Protein backbone atom coordinates (compact mmCIF):
# COMPACT_ATOMS: atom_id res chain seq x y z
CA UNK A 1 0.00 0.00 0.00
CA UNK A 2 1.49 3.41 -1.00
CA UNK A 3 0.78 6.70 0.69
CA UNK A 4 -0.01 9.76 -1.40
CA UNK A 5 -0.80 13.21 0.07
CA UNK A 6 -1.38 11.54 3.44
CA UNK A 7 -4.31 9.60 1.96
CA UNK A 8 -4.28 5.85 1.61
CA UNK A 9 -4.05 5.07 -2.10
CA UNK A 10 -4.33 1.35 -2.66
CA UNK A 11 -1.92 0.27 -5.35
CA UNK A 12 -3.53 -3.03 -6.22
CA UNK A 13 -4.93 -4.23 -9.50
CA UNK A 14 -8.42 -5.41 -8.61
CA UNK A 15 -11.35 -4.74 -6.29
CA UNK A 16 -13.78 -7.63 -5.78
CA UNK A 17 -17.24 -7.11 -4.28
CA UNK A 18 -19.09 -9.87 -2.42
CA UNK A 19 -22.69 -10.71 -1.54
CA UNK A 20 -23.84 -13.76 0.41
CA UNK A 21 -26.33 -15.05 2.92
CA UNK A 22 -24.88 -15.07 6.46
CA UNK A 23 -25.08 -18.91 6.49
CA UNK A 24 -22.24 -18.87 3.98
CA UNK A 25 -20.03 -16.28 5.68
CA UNK A 26 -17.44 -18.84 6.80
CA UNK A 27 -17.46 -20.69 3.47
CA UNK A 28 -16.94 -17.38 1.65
CA UNK A 29 -14.03 -16.52 3.97
CA UNK A 30 -12.50 -19.95 3.35
CA UNK A 31 -12.86 -19.48 -0.42
CA UNK A 32 -11.20 -16.05 -0.34
CA UNK A 33 -8.34 -17.37 1.83
CA UNK A 34 -7.77 -20.16 -0.69
CA UNK A 35 -8.03 -17.99 -3.82
CA UNK A 36 -6.58 -14.67 -2.70
CA UNK A 37 -4.55 -15.62 0.38
CA UNK A 38 -6.66 -13.28 2.55
CA UNK A 39 -10.26 -12.78 3.64
CA UNK A 40 -12.78 -10.33 2.24
CA UNK A 41 -13.68 -7.55 4.69
CA UNK A 42 -17.05 -5.78 4.60
CA UNK A 43 -17.86 -7.50 1.28
CA UNK A 44 -14.73 -6.03 -0.36
CA UNK A 45 -11.28 -7.30 -1.28
CA UNK A 46 -8.34 -5.44 -2.87
CA UNK A 47 -5.79 -7.74 -4.51
CA UNK A 48 -3.44 -8.28 -7.44
CA UNK A 49 -4.95 -11.73 -8.09
CA UNK A 50 -6.98 -11.98 -11.30
CA UNK A 51 -9.96 -14.29 -10.85
CA UNK A 52 -13.09 -14.88 -12.95
CA UNK A 53 -15.93 -13.56 -10.74
CA UNK A 54 -18.38 -16.09 -12.16
CA UNK A 55 -16.44 -18.98 -10.60
CA UNK A 56 -17.32 -17.92 -7.05
CA UNK A 57 -20.92 -18.02 -5.83
CA UNK A 58 -20.13 -15.03 -3.60
CA UNK A 59 -18.36 -12.51 -5.86
CA UNK A 60 -20.63 -9.95 -7.52
CA UNK A 61 -18.14 -7.80 -9.43
CA UNK A 62 -14.49 -7.60 -10.36
CA UNK A 63 -13.26 -4.03 -10.82
CA UNK A 64 -9.93 -3.81 -12.63
CA UNK A 65 -8.32 -0.56 -11.50
CA UNK A 66 -7.01 1.58 -14.39
CA UNK A 67 -6.56 4.88 -12.48
CA UNK A 68 -7.03 6.11 -8.95
CA UNK A 69 -6.76 9.42 -7.14
CA UNK A 70 -8.05 11.09 -3.99
CA UNK A 71 -8.80 14.07 -6.24
CA UNK A 72 -11.75 13.54 -8.58
CA UNK A 73 -10.60 16.11 -11.18
CA UNK A 74 -7.18 14.47 -11.16
CA UNK A 75 -8.86 11.13 -11.94
CA UNK A 76 -10.66 12.74 -14.91
CA UNK A 77 -7.30 14.06 -16.18
CA UNK A 78 -5.85 10.56 -15.96
CA UNK A 79 -8.79 9.15 -17.93
CA UNK A 80 -8.34 11.86 -20.59
CA UNK A 81 -4.62 11.17 -20.72
CA UNK A 82 -5.30 7.48 -21.43
CA UNK A 83 -7.09 8.53 -24.63
CA UNK A 84 -9.60 5.64 -24.60
CA UNK A 85 -11.32 4.87 -27.91
CA UNK A 86 -13.94 2.12 -27.86
CA UNK A 87 -17.22 1.50 -29.68
CA UNK A 88 -20.12 0.12 -27.63
CA UNK A 89 -18.79 0.99 -24.16
CA UNK A 90 -20.93 1.68 -21.11
CA UNK A 91 -20.10 3.42 -17.82
CA UNK A 92 -21.62 2.23 -14.53
CA UNK A 93 -21.28 3.65 -11.04
CA UNK A 94 -20.30 1.08 -8.41
CA UNK A 95 -21.49 1.99 -4.91
CA UNK A 96 -19.11 0.69 -2.25
CA UNK A 97 -19.36 0.70 1.54
CA UNK A 98 -19.24 4.27 2.92
CA UNK A 99 -20.12 5.99 -0.39
CA UNK A 100 -22.91 8.53 0.20
CA UNK A 101 -22.73 10.20 -3.23
CA UNK A 102 -26.28 11.18 -4.25
CA UNK A 103 -28.06 9.87 -7.34
CA UNK A 104 -27.77 13.11 -9.36
CA UNK A 105 -24.10 13.46 -8.56
CA UNK A 106 -23.49 9.86 -9.60
CA UNK A 107 -25.20 10.54 -12.95
CA UNK A 108 -23.03 13.62 -13.43
CA UNK A 109 -19.91 11.55 -12.82
CA UNK A 110 -21.02 8.94 -15.35
CA UNK A 111 -21.48 11.76 -17.85
CA UNK A 112 -18.04 13.22 -17.01
CA UNK A 113 -16.44 9.89 -17.82
CA UNK A 114 -18.59 9.13 -20.86
CA UNK A 115 -17.43 12.45 -22.42
CA UNK A 116 -13.82 11.40 -21.96
CA UNK A 117 -14.16 8.12 -23.88
CA UNK A 118 -14.25 8.26 -27.67
CA UNK A 119 -16.90 6.05 -29.26
CA UNK A 120 -20.65 5.48 -29.32
CA UNK A 121 -21.95 3.89 -26.10
CA UNK A 122 -24.15 0.80 -26.06
CA UNK A 123 -26.21 0.55 -22.89
CA UNK A 124 -27.97 -2.76 -23.66
CA UNK A 125 -25.11 -5.01 -24.71
CA UNK A 126 -21.88 -3.13 -24.09
CA UNK A 127 -18.56 -4.29 -25.48
CA UNK A 128 -16.98 -3.25 -22.15
CA UNK A 129 -18.26 -1.75 -18.92
CA UNK A 130 -16.12 1.03 -17.48
CA UNK A 131 -16.84 1.92 -13.91
CA UNK A 132 -16.17 4.49 -11.22
CA UNK A 133 -16.28 4.10 -7.45
CA UNK A 134 -15.01 5.77 -4.31
CA UNK A 135 -13.58 3.97 -1.29
CA UNK A 136 -12.02 5.59 1.77
CA UNK A 137 -11.79 8.98 0.00
CA UNK A 138 -10.02 7.62 -3.09
CA UNK A 139 -11.69 7.64 -6.50
CA UNK A 140 -11.16 4.65 -8.79
CA UNK A 141 -11.77 4.27 -12.52
CA UNK A 142 -11.63 0.83 -14.10
CA UNK A 143 -13.16 -2.04 -16.05
CA UNK A 144 -16.01 -3.91 -14.45
CA UNK A 145 -16.68 -7.63 -14.98
CA UNK A 146 -19.93 -8.88 -13.48
CA UNK A 147 -20.76 -12.29 -12.07
CA UNK A 148 -22.88 -14.35 -14.53
CA UNK A 149 -25.86 -15.83 -12.67
CA UNK A 150 -26.53 -18.35 -15.49
CA UNK A 151 -25.68 -21.22 -13.10
CA UNK A 152 -29.03 -20.67 -11.34
CA UNK A 153 -30.54 -22.69 -14.21
CA UNK A 154 -29.17 -25.80 -12.44
CA UNK A 155 -32.08 -25.48 -9.97
CA UNK A 156 -34.14 -27.08 -12.73
CA UNK A 157 -31.94 -30.15 -13.16
CA UNK A 158 -33.87 -33.32 -14.09
CA UNK A 159 -32.61 -35.34 -11.10
CA UNK A 160 -32.04 -34.13 -7.60
CA UNK A 161 -31.89 -35.80 -4.25
CA UNK A 162 -33.07 -34.49 -0.89
CA UNK A 163 -29.60 -34.86 0.64
CA UNK A 164 -27.68 -33.51 -2.35
CA UNK A 165 -25.30 -30.75 -1.47
CA UNK A 166 -26.68 -27.23 -2.06
CA UNK A 167 -25.73 -25.43 -5.28
CA UNK A 168 -23.95 -22.56 -3.51
CA UNK A 169 -21.77 -24.92 -1.47
CA UNK A 170 -21.16 -27.08 -4.56
CA UNK A 171 -20.01 -24.06 -6.56
CA UNK A 172 -17.71 -22.88 -3.77
CA UNK A 173 -16.20 -26.39 -3.49
CA UNK A 174 -15.30 -26.46 -7.21
CA UNK A 175 -13.79 -22.98 -6.90
CA UNK A 176 -11.79 -23.88 -3.77
CA UNK A 177 -10.59 -27.17 -5.27
CA UNK A 178 -9.25 -25.55 -8.46
CA UNK A 179 -8.26 -22.22 -6.83
CA UNK A 180 -9.72 -20.58 -9.90
CA UNK A 181 -7.21 -22.24 -12.27
CA UNK A 182 -9.17 -23.51 -15.29
CA UNK A 183 -6.32 -25.73 -16.41
CA UNK A 184 -6.75 -27.89 -13.29
CA UNK A 185 -8.42 -31.28 -13.72
CA UNK A 186 -10.81 -32.23 -10.93
CA UNK A 187 -12.65 -35.32 -9.69
CA UNK A 188 -15.97 -35.41 -7.87
CA UNK A 189 -15.25 -38.70 -6.08
CA UNK A 190 -18.76 -39.39 -4.71
CA UNK A 191 -20.77 -37.51 -7.30
CA UNK A 192 -24.35 -38.54 -6.35
CA UNK A 193 -26.56 -36.72 -8.89
CA UNK A 194 -23.64 -34.50 -9.97
CA UNK A 195 -24.45 -31.24 -8.17
CA UNK A 196 -20.76 -30.33 -7.81
CA UNK A 197 -19.99 -31.42 -11.38
CA UNK A 198 -22.67 -29.11 -12.84
CA UNK A 199 -21.19 -26.13 -11.02
CA UNK A 200 -17.63 -27.04 -12.01
CA UNK A 201 -18.68 -27.39 -15.68
CA UNK A 202 -20.47 -24.02 -15.69
CA UNK A 203 -17.36 -22.41 -14.20
CA UNK A 204 -15.27 -23.86 -17.03
CA UNK A 205 -13.39 -26.57 -15.13
CA UNK A 206 -12.63 -30.02 -16.47
CA UNK A 207 -14.09 -32.50 -13.99
CA UNK A 208 -14.70 -36.26 -13.89
CA UNK A 209 -17.26 -37.92 -11.66
CA UNK A 210 -17.32 -41.24 -9.82
CA UNK A 211 -19.99 -43.00 -7.81
CA UNK A 212 -20.29 -46.58 -6.60
CA UNK A 213 -24.04 -46.49 -7.16
CA UNK A 214 -25.16 -47.16 -10.78
CA UNK A 215 -28.33 -45.07 -10.40
CA UNK A 216 -26.34 -42.07 -9.11
CA UNK A 217 -24.01 -42.37 -12.12
CA UNK A 218 -26.95 -42.49 -14.54
CA UNK A 219 -28.62 -39.48 -12.92
CA UNK A 220 -25.40 -37.50 -13.06
CA UNK A 221 -24.96 -38.28 -16.76
CA UNK A 222 -28.56 -37.23 -17.49
CA UNK A 223 -28.14 -34.01 -15.50
CA UNK A 224 -24.93 -33.17 -17.38
CA UNK A 225 -26.51 -33.96 -20.76
CA UNK A 226 -29.54 -31.79 -19.95
CA UNK A 227 -27.26 -28.73 -19.77
CA UNK A 228 -25.00 -29.86 -22.66
CA UNK A 229 -21.95 -30.40 -20.47
CA UNK A 230 -19.50 -33.11 -21.40
CA UNK A 231 -17.70 -34.93 -18.58
CA UNK A 232 -16.74 -38.53 -17.82
CA UNK A 233 -18.70 -40.28 -15.07
CA UNK A 234 -17.35 -43.60 -13.77
CA UNK A 235 -19.68 -46.10 -12.13
CA UNK A 236 -17.00 -47.29 -9.77
CA UNK A 237 -15.79 -47.52 -6.23
CA UNK A 238 -13.19 -44.73 -5.89
CA UNK A 239 -10.69 -47.39 -4.82
CA UNK A 240 -10.71 -48.81 -8.39
CA UNK A 241 -9.87 -45.50 -10.10
CA UNK A 242 -6.34 -45.09 -11.42
CA UNK A 243 -6.17 -41.49 -12.73
CA UNK A 244 -4.27 -38.60 -11.17
CA UNK A 245 -6.08 -35.34 -10.54
CA UNK A 246 -5.01 -31.81 -9.59
CA UNK A 247 -7.69 -31.84 -6.90
CA UNK A 248 -10.46 -34.17 -5.69
CA UNK A 249 -13.72 -33.17 -4.02
CA UNK A 250 -15.34 -35.76 -1.74
CA UNK A 251 -18.87 -35.25 -0.43
CA UNK A 252 -18.73 -38.23 1.94
CA UNK A 253 -21.80 -40.47 2.39
CA UNK A 254 -23.73 -39.24 5.44
CA UNK A 255 -25.25 -42.56 6.49
CA UNK A 256 -28.64 -41.17 5.49
CA UNK A 257 -29.99 -43.12 2.47
CA UNK A 258 -26.38 -44.18 1.72
CA UNK A 259 -24.58 -46.34 4.27
CA UNK A 260 -21.53 -44.93 5.96
CA UNK A 261 -19.30 -45.48 8.92
CA UNK A 262 -15.74 -44.60 9.91
CA UNK A 263 -14.25 -47.46 7.87
CA UNK A 264 -16.15 -46.51 4.70
CA UNK A 265 -15.06 -42.84 5.06
CA UNK A 266 -11.47 -43.88 5.80
CA UNK A 267 -11.36 -46.11 2.70
CA UNK A 268 -12.72 -43.32 0.47
CA UNK A 269 -10.23 -40.76 1.83
CA UNK A 270 -7.33 -43.29 1.56
CA UNK A 271 -8.24 -44.07 -2.07
CA UNK A 272 -8.56 -40.39 -3.02
CA UNK A 273 -5.23 -39.53 -1.39
CA UNK A 274 -3.53 -41.96 -3.79
CA UNK A 275 -4.90 -39.98 -6.77
CA UNK A 276 -4.25 -36.36 -5.74
CA UNK A 277 -2.21 -34.09 -3.48
CA UNK A 278 -5.15 -31.77 -2.85
CA UNK A 279 -8.46 -33.03 -1.50
CA UNK A 280 -11.51 -31.04 -0.39
CA UNK A 281 -13.72 -33.13 1.86
CA UNK A 282 -17.27 -32.50 3.05
CA UNK A 283 -18.42 -34.43 6.12
CA UNK A 284 -21.08 -34.26 8.80
CA UNK A 285 -18.80 -35.56 11.55
CA UNK A 286 -15.29 -34.75 12.76
CA UNK A 287 -12.93 -36.67 10.45
CA UNK A 288 -9.65 -34.99 11.41
CA UNK A 289 -8.15 -38.26 12.61
CA UNK A 290 -9.15 -40.10 9.41
CA UNK A 291 -7.63 -37.31 7.30
CA UNK A 292 -4.34 -37.61 9.20
CA UNK A 293 -4.46 -41.44 8.95
CA UNK A 294 -4.44 -40.98 5.15
CA UNK A 295 -1.20 -38.95 5.29
CA UNK A 296 -3.01 -35.66 4.57
CA UNK A 297 -2.76 -32.37 6.48
CA UNK A 298 -5.73 -30.10 7.14
CA UNK A 299 -4.77 -26.76 5.54
CA UNK A 300 -8.07 -24.97 6.05
CA UNK A 301 -11.49 -25.66 7.51
CA UNK A 302 -14.97 -24.22 7.93
CA UNK A 303 -18.49 -25.18 8.93
CA UNK A 304 -21.47 -24.52 6.66
CA UNK A 305 -24.51 -24.07 8.90
CA UNK A 306 -27.95 -25.65 8.55
CA UNK A 307 -30.01 -24.05 5.84
CA UNK A 308 -33.28 -24.74 3.95
CA UNK A 309 -34.22 -28.42 3.96
CA UNK A 310 -30.84 -29.44 5.34
CA UNK A 311 -31.06 -30.41 9.01
CA UNK A 312 -27.33 -30.82 9.63
CA UNK A 313 -24.13 -28.82 9.45
CA UNK A 314 -21.49 -29.69 6.89
CA UNK A 315 -17.79 -29.50 7.64
CA UNK A 316 -15.46 -28.52 4.80
CA UNK A 317 -11.85 -29.71 5.08
CA UNK A 318 -9.14 -28.45 2.71
CA UNK A 319 -6.43 -31.11 2.79
CA UNK A 320 -3.04 -31.44 1.17
CA UNK A 321 -0.19 -33.90 1.35
C1 LIG B 1 -23.52 -37.56 0.15
S2 LIG B 1 -23.66 -38.42 -1.33
C3 LIG B 1 -23.02 -37.29 -2.51
C4 LIG B 1 -24.08 -36.35 -2.97
C5 LIG B 1 -23.62 -35.49 -4.13
N6 LIG B 1 -22.62 -34.50 -3.75
C7 LIG B 1 -24.81 -34.77 -4.74
O8 LIG B 1 -24.91 -33.56 -4.56
O9 LIG B 1 -25.68 -35.43 -5.30
C10 LIG B 1 -22.36 -39.62 -1.24
C11 LIG B 1 -22.24 -40.50 -2.46
O12 LIG B 1 -21.09 -41.32 -2.28
C13 LIG B 1 -21.30 -42.52 -3.00
N14 LIG B 1 -20.29 -43.48 -2.52
C15 LIG B 1 -20.27 -44.17 -1.36
N16 LIG B 1 -19.17 -44.93 -1.27
C17 LIG B 1 -18.45 -44.73 -2.41
C18 LIG B 1 -17.20 -45.22 -2.91
N19 LIG B 1 -16.48 -46.10 -2.21
N20 LIG B 1 -16.78 -44.79 -4.12
C21 LIG B 1 -17.52 -43.89 -4.83
N22 LIG B 1 -18.71 -43.39 -4.41
C23 LIG B 1 -19.17 -43.79 -3.22
C24 LIG B 1 -22.75 -42.85 -2.67
O25 LIG B 1 -23.30 -43.72 -3.63
C26 LIG B 1 -23.40 -41.47 -2.68
O27 LIG B 1 -23.97 -41.19 -3.95
Q: Is the CB of 258 under 6 A from ligand 1?
A: yes
User: One fold for both 2-146 and 152-320?
Assistant: no
CATH superfamily of 152-320: Vaccinia Virus protein VP39 (3.40.50.150)
Q: Which of 190, 207, 267, 308 to mutate to test the pocket of ligand 1 (most atoms within 8 A of CB)?
A: 190
Residue 156: phi, psi to the nearest 5?
-95, 35
**Per-residue pLDDT tens listing for the chain (321 residues):** 333 444 556 689 999 999 999 999 999 999 999 999 999 999 999 999 999 999 999 999 999 999 999 999 999 999 999 999 999 999 999 999 999 999 999 999 999 999 999 999 999 999 999 999 999 999 999 999 999 999 999 999 999 987 789 999 999 999 999 999 999 999 999 999 999 999 999 999 999 999 999 999 999 999 999 999 999 999 999 999 999 999 999 999 986 555 668 899 999 999 999 999 999 999 999 999 999 999 999 999 999 987 766 667 899 999 999
Q: Strand 297-304 vs strand 314-320: parallel, antiparallel, or unpaired?
A: antiparallel
Q: Is the CB of 198 under 6 A from ligand 1?
A: no
3-state secondary structure of 75: helix
Closest residue (by CA) to atom 4 of ligand 1?
Answer: 192
Yes or no: domain 2-146 corresponds to CATH 3.30.360.10: no
Q: Domain segments of the chain: what residues?
A: 2-146, 152-320
**pTM (2 d.p.):** 0.94
CA distance 220 to 287: 27
Furthest C-alpha separation in the chain: 67
Amino acid sequence: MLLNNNKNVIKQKFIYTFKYNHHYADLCKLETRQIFGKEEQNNLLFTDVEFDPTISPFIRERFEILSSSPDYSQLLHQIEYNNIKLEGFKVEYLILEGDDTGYKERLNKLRDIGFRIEGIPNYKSPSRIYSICIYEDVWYFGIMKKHDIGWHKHKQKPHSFSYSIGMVTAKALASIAAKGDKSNILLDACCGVGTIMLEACFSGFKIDGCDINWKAGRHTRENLKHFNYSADVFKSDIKNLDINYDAIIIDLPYNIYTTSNDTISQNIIDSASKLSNRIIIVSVSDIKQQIENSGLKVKDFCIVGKRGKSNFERKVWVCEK
